[in-house]
Amino acid sequence: MAKPLASIVSAGVTRFGAREGVYARELFVEAAQEAFDACPNLSPARDIDGLFVGMMSESYEHQAHVAPMIADWLGILPVPAFRTEAACASSGVAMRCALYAIQSGMHDVVLVGGVEKMTNLRTASVTEVLGMASDYPFEQWHGISFPGIFALMATAHMAKYGTTEEQLAKVAVKNHQNGTLNPKAHFQKSITIGDVLSSRVVAWPLKLYDCSPISDGASCIVMTAPKLARRFTDTPVHIVGSAQAQDTIGLYERDDVTSMNVTRIAARKAYEMAGVRAEQIDVAEVHDCFTIAEIMAYEALGFCSQGQGGRLVDDGITSLGGKKPVNTSGGLKAKGHPVGATGTAQACEIYLQLTSQAGKRQVDGAEIGLTQNVGGSASTGVVQLYRRGD
Ligand code: COA
C-alpha cells in the first residue's frame, strides 16, 4: 500500500441538529475543543500552523470572512487561515487544500474543519440559499431546487435500472437505524419502510424521509505530516489516497444523469494513489443528501456494478453487520447535514472507526476506510481513503 499523504491525530464533532442560541464560530470551537481535549500532547496555539475551514454560505448568519474569525475564536491567531466553498463538499475540499499544504512542506500541523448554522433561516430561504449551488439562469430561475434535481436523477435511475421507491426507503431505514447508535446525530429514532413510503412527497419520488435535514453543526480533524503523527498520538489514521473531480454546474448539461461521474473519476484516482481496491474497504461514509445519492455512490465507488446499487441495500450488504457497512454515523440522512461541516464529519467518523472508538456502531477490525463527499448536483466530488496506523 502507498505511503501516507498526511495523518489524522485527533477529531471532534458537535451534536448536529437545531442548535439554538449559538453562532457558527461557537459550534466550530466546540468541535475543535473536543479534538484538542482528546489530544493532550497538542498545544493548539504553539503547534497548529494553519487553519482550513469549509463553509458554504454567508447568508445564514450574514457573516463573511469567516477564516480569521474562527482562528481568533480558537485562540490561534496569527496563523494563516483559509476558507473553502464548494457547496456541500466545502470541507471535503478544505481537506484537499490541507493535504496540499502538508505535501508542499510549508505546513506541519493543521486544523481542518467545517461548519454551517442553517436553522437561522426558514426552510424556504434555506432552499433558496442551497439552490445557489445550482446553475442560476437555467436551474434556479426555473424554480428547481436540490430535492427536485436529485428527484430527476432518481426517476432516471428508476427508469433505466428498475430501482424502486422501496430500495430508496431502505437506505433511509438503514441510516436512521445507525443514527440511533450515534449520540451526536440529528435524528436518533428508527423508522420503517412504511414510514418512509407514507411520508409527504417533497419532489417525487423523494419523500420527507428520503431527504437529509436542515442542520446546524461543526466538525474538525487535526492533520499532521506523517512523520510527526506519533508526537501526538499512538493511534494515527493515515490518509493514503485523495482525489477530486468536477462536472458541469447544471445537471441539464449532462448526457447521463444516472451516474455520478465526479465520484467515479475521483474514486479511480484515489484507489490508484492508495493502491487499494473497492473490495478492500471495510467501512465507508458516503454523501446521502438524498437516498438516491447513496445508491449512485455505491455504483460510482465500485461497490457494485452500474445500476445494481438498489440490490446492495436490499441484500443488507451496506448495513452495520453487513459485508460493507456504509454510513455507520447515520449519514447525512440521520446524523444531519450542516452542509459545510459534512466532509470533515465523514472523516471524523472514519477516524473513530479506524481507532476503535465508534462505540455501539463500531465495525470490528476496520482497517481501511473511505469518504465520498459531493457538492451541488455532483458538480464537485471528493473521495479520500484512510488506513489505520501501524
Ligand atoms: N428527515 C426526517 N424528518 C425530517 C426531515 C428530514 N429530512 N426534515 C424535517 N423533518 C421532521 C422535523 O423534525 C419535524 O418533525 P416534528 O414535527 O416531529 O418536530 C417535521 O419533519 C417537520 O419539520 P420541518 O422543519 O417543518 O420540515 P420542512 O418541510 O420545513 O423541511 C425538507 C423538510 C425535507 C424540505 C427539508 O429538510 C429539506 O429541505 N431538506 C433537504 C436539504 C438539502 O437540500 N440539503 C442539501 C442537499 S444537496
pLDDT, tens digit, 9 for 90 and up, residues 311-361: 999 999 999 999 999 999 999 999 999 999 999 999 999 999 999 999 999
pLDDT, tens digit, 9 for 90 and up, residues 73-120: 999 999 999 999 999 999 999 999 999 999 999 999 999 999 999 999
Q: How far is Cα 387 from Cα 76, in angstroms, rounded to an integer?
A: 29
Mean residue pLDDT of the chain comes to 98
Residue 334 Cβ inside 6 Å of ligand 1? The answer reads no
188 forms beta bridges with none
pLDDT at 2: 85
Residue 289 Cβ inside 6 Å of ligand 1? The answer reads yes
Residue 382 pLDDT > 90? yes
> How remote is the CA of residue 202 from the centroid of ligand 1, in Å?
9
pLDDT at 268: 98
pLDDT at 111: 98
To the query of whether residue 337 is one of the catalytic residues in this protein, the response is yes
pLDDT at 334: 98
pLDDT, tens digit, 9 for 90 and up, residues 119-130: 999 999 999 999
Nearest residue by C-alpha to atom 2 in ligand 1:
209
Q: Mean of the pLDDT values across residues 289-299?
A: 98
> How remote is the CA of residue 122 from the centroid of ligand 1, in Å?
11
Are the C-beta atoms of 251 and 149 separated by less than 8 Å? yes
pLDDT at 357: 98
pLDDT, tens digit, 9 for 90 and up, residues 209-251: 999 999 999 999 999 999 999 999 999 999 999 999 999 999 9
Residue 1 pLDDT > 80? no
> How remote is the CA of residue 99 from the centroid of ligand 1, in Å?
34
Residue 130 Cβ inside 6 Å of ligand 1? The answer reads yes
**CA 17 distance to own-chain centroid:** 15
Atom of ligand 1 nearest to the CA of 339: 46
Nearest residue by C-alpha to atom 47 in ligand 1:
289
Residue 330 Cβ inside 6 Å of ligand 1? The answer reads no
pLDDT at 49: 98
Choosing from 107, 238, 287, 337, the catalytic residue is: 337
Residue 214 Cβ inside 6 Å of ligand 1? The answer reads yes
**Distances from the Cα of 369 to the Cαs of 145, 176, 215, 387, in angstroms?**
32, 21, 25, 6
Choosing from 39, 88, 220, 289, the catalytic residue is: 88
User: Which secondary-structure segment (H or E) carries 387?
Assistant: strand 380-388
Atom of ligand 1 nearest to the CA of 212: 7
Q: Mean of the pLDDT values across residues 149-175?
A: 98
User: Which secondary-structure segment (H or E) carries 175?
Assistant: helix 165-179
Residue 390 — very low, low, confident or very high, per pLDDT cuts 50/70/90? confident
pLDDT at 70: 98
Atom of ligand 1 nearest to the CA of 290: 47
pLDDT, tens digit, 9 for 90 and up, residues 23-57: 999 999 999 999 999 999 999 999 999 999 999 99
pLDDT at 305: 98
